[in-house]
Structure 1
């Protein structure tokens, strides 16, 4: 039986030294010109020496006119090649492989960072405070965006990254094409499940064609959107089966969107197979195994104990365990599990106490999600500045920082306009 200490050989020929992955976290540490700077080098140096087999960056955008968060790094060309090379090298010097997560936000373009009108497969707006209604993409624009993913991957290859992970989860553009809720097109990019998956498949194919043979190409995919009328587990399994034929190196399983943040353990619609547990999406991964062929599966979301990580890999449910938020308070989380044999990774719960009736409202879920993102982002910024995490930062200080950074939109319902 495989063990979390065991290496894993990928289709590209790369070898993960163990089965623990630092999964993507949006850092928000790009320069004014959306390049990487010394803060990202320092942050990833810490993760690179943390014992992980693989480190995945946060959102790197393929178009500077459409950003997911303030401070996103953007790779449209090689203007930041030197900085990207330093970023990759700082991670790899610690012994970990490093992949760049590439992304386009689509309708989830952050209104605080994006001046252009958001774009999407169809003009379906977000039910999240302050988000602008998108316009539907033309077919020519769709082709251009697919080429952007491929070109960004080619630059990452030239900069010394070991691979890319295409972000196809959490309600971003690839996920928007997959979901019947957000893709209401009737052309070759939508209308039935086969056409809705065309965008994801084309992004993977053109990306693979643009990079060197030893460069890894992976994807992050939702198990489901957890929204009525959205992407379902059945559709997700069909997409995995199609992707398995595309020479991928890894498929990471997650779930949810900004409207229904299941990746944080709080899905608005909660199925029996994704109920709150230590590993939110592990049961789905077990069911998806028969569709993934020889492509390894990673599961991210909720892992906290060494026992659960070991069981997930040894049982064959997944090949790689992804750790996200635990790495903001312990950048050497992999060594804590694999070397120090710590039984549990401790992550503070900063959610303020509130009545269950209020906590289950869509408005409260949006606020709590933003609060957690702000808290963990604060820890990342401390690490990037050369400091140490501060787990004692409380919800009131975090809420004040959230209000300062996002204004009252963090607290109020969606505007009518």
Structure 2
């Protein structure tokens, strides 16, 4: 290992004393590998068996939903009671076998679910997902009693998965899912205690954090994935996002993962035209926002995901003090051993090279199918095929998930 890269091998101790072995993390990727009854099975365990030796210090699972009547993508795992406790325990044991810590990402899709999966979605307000050609049904506004029930569900899921052996949880508060919908004035048009002002719009996520903390205690890490902005005119912007971060930090949040965008403005994939060209070219799409958070909240542990490809970019981000953890998602679907090779000094750049046509919807589709198919290959005991033609990946994706899933979010 070169001297410069050694900083990535240093452990990170969170304020509550929890130690992450190094500065590389597998960011959440929606695997689409759960059984038809929404329980984890052999395929998702096989995938995490392959990733167990990847070398990351922290691994975060993809979407685990809190309600089996509200599914974000085909193949979601759902944990709402103890019925899959044995499966969860085996999944946790397999994922942790290589020494990494493993957290479960907990989520609810709200309105962002294909109508073929959830015919009657719920959301903060009865506002449909824009620009989807009818793939998503118009949601019904949640009642206050339903909001309270959802908060309880997030906490119950957190209690069950940590009881099964996972080390912590991450709340998914980004990419247009339910918590993101509560935070955005475009999707949250309520005028009661859950909307109408920035303070009321962030009440839901704060109550979710409080409820989870009450269930898992202070020593179990509770993190959140949050948008720096949703990159939509009149939507959730950086200034309001910073206010949310301050409020979460006051509640004792253990780690903030920074991302951005929604699946109608996919900044997290680097394909959204609203991102400046300079932002798309550099490795860390949201580094400038991370630096703002660091300046205002210097002790809050930060993880940054989106665009990292080279050892130099990762070292710079950590060495500068801007972030504590480097999140890697897509590289691990193509090069599952990349972090271990990086830490050993045997690699300094990922081979991930998105194939872009310049057509926004086409680029989003080919990227999502490309990385999903790589995960499915590993779930079958095969190695990734990074040079496989995009048309083959799209065909396999369609055969596996059907046409309705083409615009489904993946992470």
Q: Shift of residue 369 of structure 1?
A: 1.4
User: Using the alignment, how far apart are the partners of 2:188 and 2:277 within structure 1?
Assistant: 26
SS of structure 1 residue aligned to 2:332: helix
Q: In structure 1, what is the equivalent of residue 349 of structure 2?
A: 344
Q: In structure 2, what is the equivalent of residue 153 of structure 1?
A: 158
Match of 1:374 among 357, 369, 372: 369
Q: Shift of residue 3 of structure 1?
A: 2.0
Q: 1:271 to 1:122 in 2, by over 3 A?
A: farther
Match of 1:24 among 8, 13, 28: 28
Normalised by the length of structure 1, the TM-score is 0.92
Q: Shift of residue 13 of structure 1?
A: 2.1
Match of 2:121 among 118, 122, 125: 118
Give the gaps of 5 or more residues in structure 2. Answer: none
Contact 1:273 1:284 in 2 (8 A): no
Query: Which consecutive segments of 4 or more residues in structure 1 shift more than 6 A?
Result: none
Contact 1:112 1:406 in 2 (8 A): no
Q: In structure 1, what is the equivalent of residue 111 of structure 2?
A: 107
Q: Shift of residue 249 of structure 1?
A: 1.3
Q: Shift of residue 214 of structure 1?
A: 2.2
1:15-414 map, 5 Å: 15-114=19-118, 116-126=119-129, 127-129=131-133, 130-270=135-275, 274-351=279-356, 353=357, 356=358, 359=359, 365-405=360-400
Q: 1:374 to 1:275 in 2, by over 3 A?
A: closer
Contact 1:11 1:248 in 2 (8 A): no
User: Using the alignment, how far apart are the partners of 1:56 and 1:410 within structure 2?
Assistant: 23
SS of structure 1 residue aligned to 2:93: helix
Contact 1:274 1:284 in 2 (8 A): no
User: Using the alignment, how far apart are the partners of 2:87 and 2:165 within structure 1?
Assistant: 11
Contact 1:367 1:410 in 2 (8 A): no
Q: Which deviations, in whole Å up to 9, do the C-alpha atoms of 1:140-192 show, x marking residues without a partner?
A: 11110011000000001110000000000000000100001111111111111
- How many pairs are equivalent? 401
Q: Which deviations, in whole Å up to 9, do the C-alpha atoms of 1:103-156 show, x marking residues without a partner?
A: 000010233432x41111111111223111111111111110011000000001
Q: Shift of residue 206 of structure 1?
A: 0.5
SS of structure 1 residue aligned to 2:223: strand
Give the gaps of 5 or more residues in structure 1. Answer: 360-364, 413-417
Q: Which deviations, in whole Å up to 9, do the C-alpha atoms of 1:69-116 show, x marking residues without a partner?
A: 0010000011000000001111111100000000000010233432x4
- Name which structure has the greater RCO, CA cutoff 8 Å, separation 6+: 2
Contact 1:128 1:258 in 2 (8 A): no
Q: RMSD in angstroms over aligned alpha carbons?
A: 1.9
Contact 1:266 1:276 in 2 (8 A): no
SS of structure 2 residue aligned to 1:4: helix
User: Using the alignment, how far apart are the partners of 1:49 and 1:12 within structure 2?
Assistant: 26
User: Using the alignment, how far apart are the partners of 1:240 and 1:166 within structure 2?
Assistant: 13
Q: Shift of residue 276 of structure 1?
A: 4.2
Normalised by the length of structure 2, the TM-score is 0.93
Contact 1:299 1:318 in 2 (8 A): yes
Q: Shift of residue 368 of structure 1?
A: 2.4
Moved more, 374-383 or 207-216: 207-216
Q: Which deviations, in whole Å up to 9, do the C-alpha atoms of 1:243-283 show, x marking residues without a partner?
A: 11111111000000011010000224235885542110111
